[in-house]
Amino acid sequence: MERTTLDLWVGMFVVAGIGALVMLAMKVGNLGTYNVAETYQVHAYFANIGGLKPKASIRSAGVLVGRVTEITLDTERYEANVVMSLDKRYQFPKDTFANILTSGLLGEQYIGLMPGGDSEMLKNGEVVKQTQSAMVLEDLIGKFIYSKAAETSK
Amino acid sequence: MINTIRAIGHHIVNAVWRIGVASRFFFLTLRYSGSSFRRFDLVIKELFASGVMSLIIIVVAGLFVGMVLGLQGYETLKRYGSESALGVMVALGLVRELGPVMAALLFASRAGSAMTAEIGLMKATEQISAMEMMAVNPIARIVAPRFWAGVISMPLLAAMFSAVGIFGGYLVGVVQIGVDEGSFWSQMQAAVDFREDIMNGIIKSLVFGTVVTVIALFEGFDAPPTAEGVSGATTRTVVTSSLAILMLDFVLTAIMFRGA
């Protein structure tokens, strides 16, 4: 085969391969979807995080505002310390309420932020004081059985 | 009895010896690779033979594998009422495992066998000895360009396989069955991580590309210079590289995705 046609075919092959990679990165992976240039970190303590994982989304009014970056156990208070990276564009009042919520019945868990009314805003490294732990199915069932037992004993 | 034990021992020693020779062959190839970058047109010629010519089989196989994944995945996910996770299943399955592995298996049988047969025949017709007589290093002139062509084309082929496969899953899942298009793509994007999933898939295909081409080239170079020898070497290429791909895939998956 002639040199130029050979080069053309190989060029097309390489371009198609790199195109497939870019398509995988942008359309299939998360490279094109959420890319926050500037974030600030906020801590929150939860008594129980349930199935929350690093990289879980943080939403306020359903809008993605950040990601969970780190989850550790604070051995001084024996509570989970969750580090959240929030988008610099979104500022939240100091008395913001952090809930661990579940999307759908069996869906993944995420943190929902409910802004309060404070005029001061959360700054980098500060702690969200008001939190609500994840709903754990076993606890719910336990409570339900307990209240049923209390009802029948009356 | 003694003879059986002796035969088994002979086979084992022979296998270890061959691994040693193949490793030495691999390092020689790396050592004499310099010329294939100085004369890159040699690599381009081999890229055409191994990469471009494998395109059709990769694209067609990828499309059908993706369509099967879409169909089977839907049947299973439907039982749990989570059809919307179909995109995640198809994409993760292809990017992490099926893309690199299937592309490497197809590459081994499509391009690897051709490499072995070509080099084996060159040896049988004494072209390689002729080169040595002319003070041309056959490893630098024949083996290295083919090796680099294989290493370069393997990740590209695997990426194409995955991309076409996801499109096949989309065709069956969204277009034919009617899974919601928005959740198909958005859940996929939320679940697939570029570094964790896509880059690890590419690393896998690079490893497979190296292993498959080294096995194919070594078998060709090592083939007895007879018609029977070349045919046996070609068979061994396909068998050994397929097994190597599947075993290495297990090891790589255990290293890469254990914690995830």
Domain regions of chain B by residue span: 2-256
The answer, yes or no, to whether residue A106 has pLDDT greater than 80, is no
The answer, yes or no, to whether residue A74 has pLDDT greater than 60, is yes
Question: Could you say which of B47, B48, B166 has the minimum Cβ distance to residue A28?
Answer: B166
Q: ipTM, 2 decimals?
A: 0.78
CB contact set of A34 (below 8 Å; sequence gap of 6+) = A64, A67
pTM exceeding the 0.80 threshold for the entire prediction: no
Tokens standing for residue B151 = 């290493």
Query: Tell me: the pLDDT tens digits for A4-41?
Result: 888 888 888 999 999 998 888 887 776 655 555 678 88
CB contact set of B237 (below 8 Å; sequence gap of 6+) = B108, B112, B113, B115, B116, B215, B216, B219, B220
* Among A6, A8, A9, A10, the residue to mutate for chain B (most B Cβ within 10 A): A10
Burial of B229 (0-12, 13-18, 19+ CB in 10 A): middle
Question: Could you say which of B45, B156, B166 has the minimum Cβ distance to residue A6?
Answer: B45
Q: Per residue of chain B (260 residues), what is the pLDDT tens digit?
A: 889 999 999 999 998 998 999 999 999 999 988 888 888 888 898 999 898 999 999 999 999 999 999 999 999 998 887 888 898 999 999 999 999 999 999 999 999 999 999 999 999 999 998 998 998 888 888 999 999 999 999 999 999 999 999 999 999 999 999 888 888 888 888 788 888 889 999 999 999 999 999 999 999 998 998 999 999 999 999 999 999 999 999 999 999 887 54
CA of A116, closest CA in chain B: separation in Å? 29
CA of B149, closest CA in chain A: separation in Å? 11
CB contact set of B91 (below 8 Å; sequence gap of 6+) = A28, B166, B169, B188, B191, B192
Burial of A30 (0-12, 13-18, 19+ CB in 10 A): buried
Q: With an 8 Å Cβ cutoff, is B58 touching chain A? A: no
Tokens standing for residue B8 = 């088994």
Contact list in B for residue A13 (CB cut-off 8 A) is 47-48, 51-52, 55, 153, 156
Residue bearing tokens 């299937």:
B102
B252/B207 Cα distance (integer angstroms): 9
